[in-house]
Copies of this chain bind each other. A is one copy, B any other.
Amino acid sequence: MTFSALSHLECPKCGQTHDADQVIGLCPCGSPLLARYDVPAVTLTKDELAARPPDLWRYHELLPVRAPENVVTLGEGMTPLLPLPRYGREVGVERLLMKDEGLIPTGTFKARGAAVGVSRAYEVGVRRIAMPTNGNAGSSWAAYAARAGMAALISMPVAAPEICRREVKVVGAELHLVDGLIGDAAAFIREQEGYFDVSTLKEPYRIEGKKTMGLEIAEQLGWQLPDVILYPTGGGVGIIGIWKALVELRELGWIDGPLPRLVAVQSTGCAPIVQAYEKGLPESEPWPDAKTIAFGITVPKALGDFLVLQAIADTDGCAVAVDDETILAEQHHLARLEGAFICPEGAATFAAVRRLRESGWIRADDQVVALNTGLGLKYPETVPL
């Protein structure tokens, strides 16, 4: 049995296929590429899986790293899936669960994409990476690059959280600040020579790491899927990844029936996906003057927007925007009721749960998973002294 069933890369826009065992970014047509696996060749059983260590590499057959010695790990994965009985009762969703991505290296779900992305980049020969970031992704990729012994150049807006700057510096990555938004940081990175650009969806494997959130939710629920999964959406890699995971599990024959309705949650300060969803468009339009306390989802125009909208459409999901005041109120409310100090992006999903229950879109007996994408600790200013 081979460690990975990776077969090739495929363009979801033009359909072209590419050799996976090379350094490659986007499809020549401009679209992100998706990793494809020889799923029928996977002989893994659920029992064999259950006996493996509790990290995301337990799913190695469905991950792109071909040789175990190329795995770059800090112990990421198998984060808790916690029932929230008090909060759930209050919002009228008794079967509410939180997938808590705070309990992962660097304190946010970005670690998943970084672990798999860095491992695979290393495997195909990359030794220097560069990326623009709103903060958390940069922290994670810098950490995994250090773990791999790779050089990293990280560019972020001056307004990005201070803690992320410190995280990048402490692991010895090079930090470049721009007076602007993530798009300006991206423009700087494009000018640099000698680095592999690992911007969101510009390399094919970050999504494979994020995919493991979907694999874990399915495994943690005993391969019975929930009715709804809500995800705070900036670049949207996580929601695309969860969708991809579930489709692959269906192909593997481990799950059946309808997929969970996937919900993209945004802030009213930056809601291009919600706008496109409401207008029935296949892609989003750039959001002007993007600004929200949920810094991680300040992405005016995501490269994978069309895939996010497909994931929503394919699963009968939806997209909703909530305002910053509501996000902060929900963050504090959840902390008092359940003891969990989550990040604003995560709190946005809980605000969306409440809203969608009130509208009836979520039913009282639905089993609902809300993703908290990171630690509240990384956003100290959300709690006044």
Q: Is A301 an interface residue (CB 8 A)?
A: no
CB neighbours of A50 from chain B (8 A): 51
Rounded to whole angstroms, the CA-CA distance of A81 and B82 in the bound complex is 23
Q: Which candidate, A18-26, A161-169, A263-271, is the interface stretch facing chain B?
A: A161-169
Chain A interface, >50% SS class:
helix
Q: Is A332 an interface residue (CB 8 A)?
A: yes
Rounded to whole angstroms, the CA-CA distance of A169 and B336 in the bound complex is 9
Q: Is A380 an interface residue (CB 8 A)?
A: yes
Question: Quick one: closest B residue to A103, CB to CB?
Answer: B103
Rounded to whole angstroms, the CA-CA distance of A384 and B162 in the bound complex is 10
Residue contact A147 to B338, C-beta cutoff 8 Å? yes
Residue contact A335 to B385, C-beta cutoff 8 Å? no
Residues 326-364 (chain A) with a chain B CB within 8 angstroms? 331-332, 335-341
Residue contact B146 to A337, C-beta cutoff 8 Å? yes
Residue contact A143 to B74, C-beta cutoff 8 Å? no
Residue contact B385 to A170, C-beta cutoff 8 Å? no
Known contacts A54-B54, A376-B170; is A385 also within 8 Å of B341 by CB?
no
Q: Is A228 an interface residue (CB 8 A)?
A: no
CB neighbours of A376 from chain B (8 A): 167, 170
Known contacts A100-B75, A107-B107, A163-B380; is A170 also within 8 Å of B335 by CB?
yes
CB neighbours of A146 from chain B (8 A): 335-339
Residue contact A377 to B80, C-beta cutoff 8 Å? no
The contact of A172 among B51, B81, B336, by CB within 8 Å, is: B336
Rounded to whole angstroms, the CA-CA distance of A50 and B47 in the bound complex is 12
CB neighbours of A55 from chain B (8 A): 80
Residues 122-175 (chain A) with a chain B CB within 8 angstroms? 142-149, 162-163, 165-167, 169-172
Query: What number of copies of this chain does the assembly contain?
Result: 2
Whole-angstrom distance between the Cβ of A188 and the nearest chain B Cβ: 19
CB neighbours of A332 from chain B (8 A): 170
Q: Is A261 an interface residue (CB 8 A)?
A: no
Known contacts A75-B100, A100-B75, A107-B377; is A383 also within 8 Å of B341 by CB?
no
- Cβ proximity bits A368-385 to B, threshold 8 Å, 1 near / 0 not: 000000011110101111
Residues 44-80 (chain A) with a chain B CB within 8 angstroms? 50-51, 54-55, 73-75, 78-80
Rounded to whole angstroms, the CA-CA distance of A340 and B167 in the bound complex is 9
Whole-angstrom distance between the Cβ of A263 and the nearest chain B Cβ: 23
Q: Which residues of A line the B interface, CB within 8 A? A: 50-51, 54-55, 73-75, 78-82, 86, 100, 102-107, 142-149, 162-163, 165-167, 169-172, 331-332, 335-341, 375-378, 380, 382-385
Offer 27 A-B interface pairs, CB within 8 angstroms, sorted by A: A74-B80, A74-B82, A74-B100, A75-B79, A75-B80, A75-B81, A75-B100, A100-B105, A103-B103, A103-B104, A103-B105, A105-B339, A106-B341, A107-B107, A142-B339, A143-B341, A146-B335, A146-B338, A148-B339, A166-B380, A166-B383, A167-B341, A167-B376, A167-B377, A170-B336, A170-B376, A170-B383
